[in-house]
Each structure stands twice: as C-alpha cells, then as structure tokens.
Amino acid sequence: MSTPTTHEFQAEVKQVLDIVIHSLYTDREIFVRELVSNAADALEKMRLTQLTEKSVFDANLDLEINITTDETAKTLTIQDYGIGMTRAELIENLGTIAHSGSKAFVKALQNQGKKGDAQLIGQFGVGFYSAFMVADQVKVYTHSWREDEEHLCWSSDGAGSYTIEEAPGQRRGSRIVLHLKGDAGEFSQASRIRQILGKYSNFVGFPISLNGERVNNVEAVWLKSKDQVTDEQYSQFYKFAAKAFDEPSYRLHFQADVPIVINALIFAPGENMELWGMGQMQPGVALYCKKVLIDPHPPKLLPEWLRFARGVIDSEDLPLNISRESMQDSALVKKLGSVVTSRFLKFLDKEAADDGKKYAEFYKKFSRFFKEGVATDHENREAVAKLLRFESSLTGKDESIGLSAYVSRMKEGQKEIYYQVAPSRSSIESGPYVDAFKARGIEVLYLYETIDEYVVSSLGEFDGKKLVAVNSDKVELDDSAAADGVALSAEDTDKLCGWLKEKLGGRVEAVKAGKRLVSSPALVLTPEGELNPQMRQMMRALQKDEVEPPKVIMEINPHHELIRRLCAIRESDAEAAGLVAEQMLDNALLAAGLLDDPQSLIGRTQKLMERLLAKS
Ligand code: ADP
Ligand code: MG
C-alpha cells in the first residue's frame, strides 16, 4: 500500500476555512443540511449515471443515505451510496473552490451585517467546509462509481492541509466521519440530529436512516395541494432546493391540467445573488417528471432572463426517459416553459398591484432581469414590460410607476408615452425638456440607467402607445399651454430663425420656433436615428474623437425675453448677438448631454463677461 500524501489547501479554501472555524457561530446546525445535500447530489448523479453506464462499482447498492451517531466516541457519520470520488476528484472538489465562490462568500459576510451567520454558506458552493464549524477532524472515506478506482480516505483538521491515503474495503460513494469539537458534542446525539433532519429531510429525494431507522418519507411538496403545506414548509423547501439562506419574496404554487399536466412551485428569491458577485446564475427551476428529477438546471425551460427564479416544474406528460439533450429541443418542454412563464408574470403583476410597496423593494434588487426580459424575450415582452417601474414627473423621488398605471392616467387626447433618459431626477428637472410637458399636465417617465434607452427602444410601444423621448423631434404638443403675453411676431421669428441658422452654420440642421418651451430660451432636439447622449458617451469612450458632432435641430422660444432681445440687437450689435447665439446653442447642447467640447464655453463666457462689465 502506498504512503499517505499531504496536500496544501488552495488559498481560497484556507480563507473560507479560517472564517468557518473562527467566525461562524450562529446556526451551526446548518452543516447537517449541507452534508446531506451533498450526499443527495451524489446519489442523484449516480441515478443518472446508472441510466447510461453498464459497469458500475457496487452496482447492487440502493440509493440511500445512512447517518449514525456515536455519543461515546463523539462522532457523526454521514454515508451515501452515490458517485463517490476518485483521488483527482478529492483534490479538485475538496481542496479547491471556484474563485468567485470564496470571494463572494467573504464579501457577503462582511457586507450584509450577517457576521457569524452560517446560513449563508451553502449558496456559495463551499457548503462542505461547514463541517469544520463543529469538527476538529473530518474524514471522507470514498470509492468512485468507476470500477477500477482506489479505496481512499481524505482527512483534514482544517488547518491548512489535508492527506489522502488508501483505505481498503470502501463501498461505493462517500462516508463522512466528523470528530466533533468539545463544544459540539450535541451533534453526536441521535435526538439532536433527528430534530435537525426534521426540518428538511422530507425534501431529500432519497431515503435517509438515522442509526438504522428510517427518518423521512420522500415527498414532493409541489405535488401537494396548497392547504397541505405551511409557510414554514415552503420556506424550508426553498432553502433546501435553492441552497439558499434568504427568505423568498414570492411563491407561486399551481396545478394545471390543460393544455398539459403541470405541477409547479416557483419562488422569487429575497436576494439577487448576481449583485453579490457570484457571476451569472444558472437557471434555478428544476424539471421533474412524476417526482423524478430530469434536470436541476434546464437551460431552455424558462427564458434566460428568468434565471433568478427557483423551484420545480413537474409534468407527467413528459416521457420519463427523456434525455437532458433532447429535452432542450422538445416542443412539450417549450410549451411547459411558456405556460409557466406567463402564469408567473401574471402572478407578479397581480402581487405588484396588491402590495406595491413590497413589490418596489423586490424590484429594486431584481429590475435588471426584467429589463433584460423586455430586451430579449419577444414572446413575453409586453407582460414583462408591465413589471417595469420608473420615477416620473408626477411621482415623488423614490416613488415609481408602471406603464399600465401611466397609460391609465394619460391626459385626454394623449396618444404617446413620454420619457427622458438621464442620470438623475435633478438633471432631468433642471433641463429644458420636461417643462413643456409639465405645463400641459402630461406625465414624463424618468429613466436613469443607460440600458433603459435600449429597453424602451426594444419595447417600441406599450398597450398600443408609442414610447417617445421628450427630446425627439417627433414630439407634437398642442398649443394650449404656450405662455401668453408678449412674443416675437411670426415674421420676426422667421427672420431670427434664418439668421441663427446662418450664424450657427453646420452646427445645427435647422432652427425653428417651438411651442413646447416654457422657461428656457432654446433647446435642441435629436432627429430619429441619431445617437442619444448615453450611446454617444459610450461611443466616445470607445473611439475617442472619431464620433461625429451631433446633428440637432434647434428650437427657440419666441416668448422668451432673451430671444426677443436677441432679435432686437441682431443688426445693431452683430458681435454681441453672435456670441449670444453660439452660447445659447452650447447651453442647449450641454443640457441635452450633447456638448462634446465644454472647453469652448470658457473663452466665450470670458468675452461675454468683459462686454457686460464694460457697459456698467
Ligand atoms: P457544492 O455542493 O455547492 O458544489 P460543496 O462545498 O458542498 O459545494 O461541495 C463541493 C464538491 O465536493 C461537490 O460539488 C462535490 O463534487 C464534492 N462532494 C461533496 N460531498 C460529496 C459526496 N458526498 N459525494 C461525492 N462528491 C461530494
Ligand atoms: Mg454542497
């Protein structure tokens, strides 16, 4: 027999172990859930392997989990007849972790004020190490399902290294022996373990015995009727199935017979793990056929943007022997996915209507997914769009409104939905565009994220109403609210427009009088097809100065005093008029986020100031 080999843990593992051993002290019992969940995963993999592999080590063993306690020796043993591990797999799976997992785990503990809370651990793919919260020595005896592999024992005290040695006589699968720490003796008591298992063991898809006695009756929560499941059981199931620590925000549990038989239990989580640095999530709604797992992360069952959802879809109409590969292209699976998706979207829409405050909290964390949905999911675009929320000219700061609510309170005769994309409420409200809409009592949606531009352009319209940017030259507002009082005559206005076009030359496509301006002298409009400010900024960041100057239409306000005076001095003081015209355009471009070279403002304002002071 060969001698034991000693291996250093990867640095990320050491970091996680350090935290597990020294700073997790609440909810230590969670390690039982983690180890049992690993055992169940290994059994599940074995079940799938058996479907295709002919030669399997210990092929006659039942797929089950056996737990034994020994109060005298202060040990707890968890054994499964799953796939087991080879030497290389022991090193890969128990000696290293994916970078993002350990980093995200450490960050989560630091940031979320959850210090010391062991509940978090399963979500980050480091659940195995929770054993070291309660054990000062962990041994993993194992034999892989592959016939020619070794009988092995992996062992570590969690301090920095582990050893692997041969250990003849292992059955297939893994047997994990915990030598409990002095203060963790309770976990060698059968009654204590039974109590912990009571919380979730019925969700485990395989038989579990404790000291030879069966403790669970494998049941599928999703096949029960709603009144047979308590809130607590739903929550435990969610945590078990999603390896999650948070409470779900929403759950939808339904059965349907047409067009296909469906039993579905879908959760929206409480936390968005993509915001926690875990990278892009895998799809989290598993596919079952009559309680038998077909795929825990089916890639094409639900639309990709719904990857944050967790839970189960079970359909007895699926052929039991459907392979994961053929499943992805099956028409039945597509139908399943689309029925569940539209149910879930309707459900969220109703929940949002019933409790807007709760929905707003949820939306804050998950809005990215809905925006992605509108941009990518043609089939459900309008239904997803209903779930979007935005601030507007009629909401307060931090209040928001959905598109349906916007449409329901549109002014009589209003045919379009208006919005402006800009980084903040204050930048929109201090700009020249919303004034005219406010004066007419028309609501404008405020969109703060760069991707919002993309979202509205993919959506195009909602409820038959076009979405139109307030700075588009397509906006037609009626005359009702135009300021009264003095204004330039139509003739003077025309002349001034002509003069401005000549003065400003290639910088503007056209100059015209606008009805929409209320308190600003002028603004610029961007014709359709022109890059919006957000896109321009991105392009400029990428290509530096190669982006062409913006093509804009300048609209002037004949009611504004500055415009009237400009008209008056146009001929008598051509130099001042020229300076003012240029400055007015720059101001309008600046307000629109389209001024590429703010430096030019400095020289000109200098001149304007000199002229101003020379007169006094
Ligand atoms: P996760 O379960 O999220 O992958 P863990 O830290 O719990 O993370 O486990 C790490 C890996 O160790 C598992 O992915 C699996 O490959 C392996 N493993 C753990 N327990 C067992 C077991 N009982 N049988 C086989 N492999 C196991
Ligand atoms: Mg695990």
Least confident residue range of 69-73, 131-135, 592-596: 592-596
Residue 427 belongs to domain with CATH number:
3.40.50.11260
Burial class (CB in 10 A: 0-12, 13-18, 19+), 212: exposed
Ligand 2 centroid vs 136 CA: distance in angstroms? Answer: 20
* Mean pLDDT of all residues belonging to the chain: 91
Q: Whose CA is nearest to atom 15 of ligand 1?
A: 93
**pLDDT at residue 117 greater than cutoff 80:** no
Residue 9 included in any domain: yes
**pLDDT at residue 281 greater than cutoff 70:** yes
Do 75 and 143 lie in a common domain?
yes
Q: Which two tokens stand for residue 224?
A: 């029960």
- Best probe residue, ligand 1, of 13, 15, 38, 44 (max atoms within 8 Å of C-beta): 38
Q: Whose CA is nearest to atom 1 of ligand 1?
A: 125
Residue 596 belongs to domain with CATH number:
1.20.120.790
> Considering 469, 502, 521, which residue would you say is the last residue of a domain?
469
CA–CA dist 351, 348 (Å, integer): 5
CA 20 to chain centre: 28
Do 518 and 593 lie in a common domain?
yes
State the ligand closest to the CA atom of 130: 1
Residue 359 included in any domain: no
CA–CA dist 167, 152 (Å, integer): 5
CB 422 within 8 A of CB 537: no
Nearest atom within ligand 1 for CA of residue 45: 25
Looking at per-residue pLDDT, the higher value among 34 and 616 belongs to 34
Q: Whose CA is nearest to atom 9 of ligand 1?
A: 128
Do 67 and 190 lie in a common domain?
yes
Do 151 and 10 lie in a common domain?
yes
Do 68 and 160 lie in a common domain?
yes
**pLDDT at residue 73 greater than cutoff 60:** yes
Residue 379 included in any domain: no
Do 290 and 407 lie in a common domain?
no
pLDDT score of 150: 97
Do 91 and 197 lie in a common domain?
yes
**pLDDT at residue 482 greater than cutoff 70:** no
pLDDT band at 125 (very low <50, low <70, confident <90, very high): confident
State the ligand closest to the CA atom of 90: 1
State the ligand closest to the CA atom of 124: 1
Do 454 and 538 lie in a common domain?
no
CB 590 within 8 A of CB 598: yes
Residue 499 included in any domain: yes
- Give pLDDT tens digits for 534-543: 777 777 778 7
pLDDT score of 502: 94
SS3 for 332? helix
**pLDDT at residue 153 greater than cutoff 90:** yes
Residue 303 belongs to domain with CATH number:
3.30.230.80
> Considering 179, 214, 249, which residue would you say is the last residue of a domain?
214
pLDDT band at 476 (very low <50, low <70, confident <90, very high): confident
CA–CA dist 550, 566 (Å, integer): 25
Ligand 2 centroid vs 600 CA: distance in angstroms? Answer: 61
Residue 165 belongs to domain with CATH number:
3.30.565.10
Longest dimension (CA), the chain: 106
> Considering 199, 214, 229, which residue would you say is the last residue of a domain?
214
Name the domain count of the chain.
4
State the average pLDDT over residues 582-609. 89
pLDDT score of 366: 97
Ligand 2 centroid vs 123 CA: distance in angstroms? Answer: 8
pLDDT score of 112: 65
State the average pLDDT over residues 151-159. 97
pLDDT score of 435: 87
Do 462 and 547 lie in a common domain?
no
pLDDT band at 217 (very low <50, low <70, confident <90, very high): confident
pLDDT score of 483: 54
CA 10 to chain centre: 30
pLDDT band at 398 (very low <50, low <70, confident <90, very high): confident
Residue 475 included in any domain: no
State the average pLDDT over residues 446-471. 94
Q: Whose CA is nearest to atom 16 of ligand 1?
A: 93
Do 242 and 208 lie in a common domain?
no
- Give pLDDT tens digits for 562-589: 999 999 998 899 899 999 999 999 999 9
Q: Whose CA is nearest to atom 12 of ligand 1?
A: 93
Determine if the peptide bond prior to 168 is cis (ω within 30°). no
CA–CA dist 186, 193 (Å, integer): 9
Which residues' Cβ are closer than 6 Å to ligand 1?
34, 38-39, 42, 80, 82-85, 93-94, 125-128, 174
**pLDDT at residue 114 greater than cutoff 70:** no
**pLDDT at residue 37 greater than cutoff 70:** yes
Quote the domain boundaries for residue 408. 390-469
Q: Which two tokens stand for residue 137?
A: 């020595």
Residue with tokens 């002071």: 613
Ligand 2 centroid vs 122 CA: distance in angstroms? Answer: 6
pLDDT score of 431: 86
- Best probe residue, ligand 1, of 77, 93, 132, 141 (max atoms within 8 Å of C-beta): 93
Do 290 and 411 lie in a common domain?
no
Q: Which two tokens stand for residue 431?
A: 């700009």
- Give pLDDT tens digits for 178-192: 999 999 999 999 999
Ligand 1 centroid vs 148 CA: distance in angstroms? Answer: 21
Residue 400 included in any domain: yes
Q: Whose CA is nearest to atom 14 of ligand 1?
A: 93
Residue 540 included in any domain: yes
CA–CA dist 376, 198 (Å, integer): 43
Ligand 2 centroid vs 321 CA: distance in angstroms? Answer: 27
pLDDT score of 616: 72
- Give pLDDT tens digits for 433-445: 998 899 889 999 9
SS3 for 85? coil
Helices 561-569, 574-592: axis angle to 10 degrees equals: 150
CA–CA dist 200, 42 (Å, integer): 18
Do 193 and 257 lie in a common domain?
no
- Best probe residue, ligand 1, of 37, 64, 128 (max atoms within 8 Å of C-beta): 128
Residue 33 included in any domain: yes
